[in-house]
Amino acid sequence: MSIYLIRHGETLGNASRTVQMPDNPLSPRGVAQAERLARRLEGEGIALILSSDYARAVNTAEHLRRATGAAVRYSPLLQERNFGDIRGTPYAQLGFDLFEPDYAPPNGETWEVFHARVDRAWALVRETADAAGGHVAVVTHGLVCRSLAARHLVLPDGEPGPSAWGNTALTIIDHPAPWRVRLLNSIAHLDDLETAPLEDSGAV
């Protein structure tokens, strides 16, 4: 049994390098990416989809649901880091690096609070996988993937976790513990489809 960790498809916010709002839907290219991902996973035997409740993850999970027939459950624990008052702001207008370790966004989450939430999300993923009776797909966000890779997963050959996660990137984790990663940050399903530029941050 495996856990299929997935980052959502591209949004216009990704393409324009804007700190995203929760209701940002997929862009046309993001829809195409989600369709490609769904075709890749159609015959993999996914029993359940666990998804962030942000629009871009919900949109991506819906494509998977239609392709696999698996039920979808949503959890706010899988949301992207909350950047509070700076959401909706283009990166170029910030004048600072919002991913710095000591940056605390006004009315948002510090890294410490965010990582603690991701820990709770990972506990939920593990519990869900234990009970699912088959593969579980987890649709979430770039910084969540990065946090999980850095602190909970055993990466291939001890390599460091990616600093950037592609839109609809697929990571396959063997279940149960020690949570070894069999495939990391793969966008092979996108083939010749032009992909959005990756950002060192993980592209929220």
The DSSP line for 104-150 is --TTS--HHHHHHHHHHHHHHHHHHHHHHSSEEEEEE-HHHHHHHHH
% residues pLDDT > 70 (the chain): 94
Q: Name the DSSP class of 9.
A: P
| Domain containing residue 141: CATH number | 3.40.50.1240
Q: Give the residue numbers spanning the domain of 135.
A: 2-188
**E strand or H helix that includes residue 182:** strand 181-186
**What pLDDT was estimated at residue 199?**
41
Token pair for residue 52?
């962030």
Note whether residue 174 is domain-resident: yes
Q: For position 160, what pLDDT does the model report?
A: 79
Spatial contact of 140 and 6, defined as CB atoms under 8 Å apart: yes
d(CA 168, CA 158): 23
Residue 54 domain flag: yes
Query: How high is the pLDDT of residue 196?
Result: 47
Domain assignment present for residue 200? The answer is no
Cα angle for residues 188, 14, 192 (degrees, 5° grid): 30
- Buried/exposed 72-102: b ≥16 CB within 10 Å, e otherwise: bebbebbbbbebeebbeeebeeeeeebbeee
Cis peptide preceding 176, ω within 30 of 0: yes
Distance CA 134, CA 53 (A): 22
142-151 helix and 111-132 helix, angle to the nearest 10 degrees: 80
Rounded Cα gap, residues 130 and 5, in angstroms = 15
* Averages of pLDDT over each 10 residues, the chain, 204 residues: 97 94 95 97 97 98 98 98 97 94 96 98 97 95 97 87 93 96 96 57 51
Looking at residue 19, its pLDDT comes to 96
pTM: 0.94
What distance lies between CA 144 and its chain's CA centroid? 6
Rounded Cα–Cα distance for residues 6 and 185 (Å):
8
**How many domains does the chain contain in total?**
1
Cα of 13 vs its chain's centroid, Å: 15
Flag whether 202 is in a domain. Answer: no
pLDDT at 161: 84
